[in-house]
Amino acid sequence: MQLILSTNTATKCPNNLIVVPMRLKVKNLQGEIRLTDYCAKHFPILGSRSAAKKAINTGNVFVNNRRSFETDLVSNGDVVVLKKPKKKNVRVEIPLDVDIVYQDEHLIVANKPAGIAVNGNRKKTLENIIAQIATKSLQTDVLDQPVAAHRIDVPTKGLVILAKTKSALININKAFQNNQVKKFYVAVVHGKVSRGGRIESPINGKSAITEYESLTVVPSKVFGHLSMLRLALITGRTHQLRIHLKEKGHLIVGDKQYAEQRTILGKGLFLCSCELSFTHPKTKKEIVIKIDPPRRFERLLKREGNRFEKR
């Protein structure tokens, strides 16, 4: 894997340093406003409503000297304090197969192994592992540890963007919200998919769009056919690719959670996030990062094709 290290030697500048805790007195409001909306707008270090909600729910926002809740309302005269979250000191065993594909002062793109979560309430996550091996940013708004800007499923392997600084996290989050980050996957699925297409099927009542392109189709003695697909994730619903492909009759190989048919178990999920393209939040240059799918994808297709020929 290619490792790109930044040569930026910027030093901290007190005039630009974002300081927490931050204390604000509410003013110039017409009536009451939700605390989440107020924090998202008036604390730039948070940058979004979801980040404000997280800060409130983790006990880092106080209103008039009491811990707040996301349902709280504030009005003129209230005093809102944003406290700095406690720094995580997590030591974990680092798997040898965690690769940093791209790194600079602002961002990291890592190749997440299958079988671990991106983040969450556990020690062995991609965030905690990367925190042990990433180079520290010298930017003034550096985060305590790199934070993932998006997630991929636990059994899915592939590229994940993590931010080193608060400003990078805010900008990348906005890019995801505006569908400005292009995400491409490779999967091996059951059935014969000889052409490309588009799936527009809501998931949990929300719009969900997937585009697919057929790369390889092989006959299979056991499964009829297997196909390798390149998938474009236009929206980002939970399990979107797995649900959409199953609805089309093309279960992803190894997906035991959605399997209602025979599939290959014990080899993992044959789904990999292989390409990301986005505008760099600081340099504004277009970044395109690609990795090859795991070798087992090609090995499976070759094995099934050979078995069919020998039948």
Instruction: Please identify every residue annotated as catalytic.
Output: 153
Inter-CA distances, 55 with 17, 36, 119, 132, 191, Å: 20, 9, 16, 24, 46
The size of the chain, in residues, is: 311
Contact 55, 12 (CB under 8 A): no
Q: CA-CA distance, 172 to 183, in Å (whole number)?
A: 13
The CA dihedral of 67, 71, 72, 75, to the nearest 10 degrees, is 150
